[in-house]
């Protein structure tokens, strides 16, 4: 088995959350990123947190906190590039900070069904989830060039490098994102 590094993507601007740092928004009294960390940590050898604000608060987790190498909030791909560059292992599992219920075995399932691809991501019954992905570090240079050209779409990058989705037939709520204050309110009521 290879060494897996997990990266929680928490470096966005939180525009749909009213500008709040989404990873630090409380769900059931705990920051969103902590829910993700609890699901991801047992699946990987180490965890990094990709953040661009409130670094001191993320460091309280005991995880190494990394930042984007670009200054313009280039989206999830910038966090992915930083995660690939800082990973000690060959394979890096990514998980968005706003997806608190990811499967407890998603990394292994992606690994087992990668079929030699350098990138795989989750596809559920309703849609693709490209920020729930497993990427090989061999993609660093390709991703750097992609971002340098001004490209920002995660799915397009993953497909362009020979990646493919892996079907997960889990309950759709497993992949629920908490993007807005309304999403958070609905989730708190459950």
Q: What is the spatial distance between Cα 96 and Cα 52, in angstroms, rounded to a whole number? A: 14
pLDDT in tens, 73-131: 678 999 999 999 999 889 999 999 999 999 999 999 999 999 999 999 999 999 999 99
- Tell me, yes or no, if the pTM score tops 0.95: no
Q: Residues 47, 93: contact at Cβ < 8 Å?
A: no
- The candidate with the shortest Cα–Cα distance to 35, out of 126, 81, 87, 97, is 97
Show Cβ contacts of residue 132 under 8 Å, excluding neighbours closer than 6 positions.
Answer: 94, 95, 96, 99, 102, 106, 121, 122, 175
Q: Return the structure tokens found at 96.
A: 């968005």
Q: Return the structure tokens found at 48.
A: 């990094």
Strand partners, 49: 8, 65
pLDDT in tens, 126-185: 999 999 999 999 999 999 999 999 888 999 999 999 999 999 999 888 888 888 778 888
- The candidate with the shortest Cα–Cα distance to 10, out of 69, 84, 73, is 73
pLDDT in tens, 10-63: 977 666 666 678 999 999 999 999 999 999 999 999 999 999 999 999 999 999
* Burial status of residue 125 (CB atoms within 10 A of its CB: 0-12, 13-18, 19 or more): exposed
Strand partners, 135: 92, 119
Q: What is the spatial distance between Cα 51 and Cα 37, in angstroms, rounded to a whole number? A: 14
Cα torsion 45, 102, 139, 153: sign: negative
Task: Calculate the CA 92 to chain-centre distance.
Answer: 10
pLDDT value at residue 16? 66
- The candidate with the shortest Cα–Cα distance to 61, out of 33, 101, 84, 86, is 33
């Amino acid at each position: 088995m290879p060494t897996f590094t997990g990266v929680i993507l928490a470096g966005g601007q939180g525009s749909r959350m009213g500008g709040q740092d989404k990873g630090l928004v409380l769900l059931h009294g705990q920051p969103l990123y902590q829910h993700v960390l609890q699901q991801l940590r047992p699946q990987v050898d180490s965890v990094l947190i990709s953040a661009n604000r409130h670094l001191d608060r993320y460091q309280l987790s005991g995880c190494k906190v990394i930042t984007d190498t670009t200054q313009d909030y280039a989206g999830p791909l910038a966090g992915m590039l930083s995660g690939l560059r800082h990973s000690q292992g060959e394979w890096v599992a990514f998980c968005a900070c706003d997806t608190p219920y990811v499967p407890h075995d998603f990394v292994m399932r992606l690994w087992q069904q990668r079929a030699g691809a350098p990138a795989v991501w989750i596809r559920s019954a309703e849609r693709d989830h490209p920020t729930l992905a497993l990427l090989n570090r061999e993609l660093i240079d390709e991703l750097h060039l992609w971002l340098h050209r001004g490209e920002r779409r995660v799915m397009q990058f993953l497909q362009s490098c020979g990646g493919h989705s892996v079907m997960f037939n889990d309950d759709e709520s497993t992949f629920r994102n908490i993007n807005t204050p309304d999403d958070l309110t609905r989730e708190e009521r459950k």
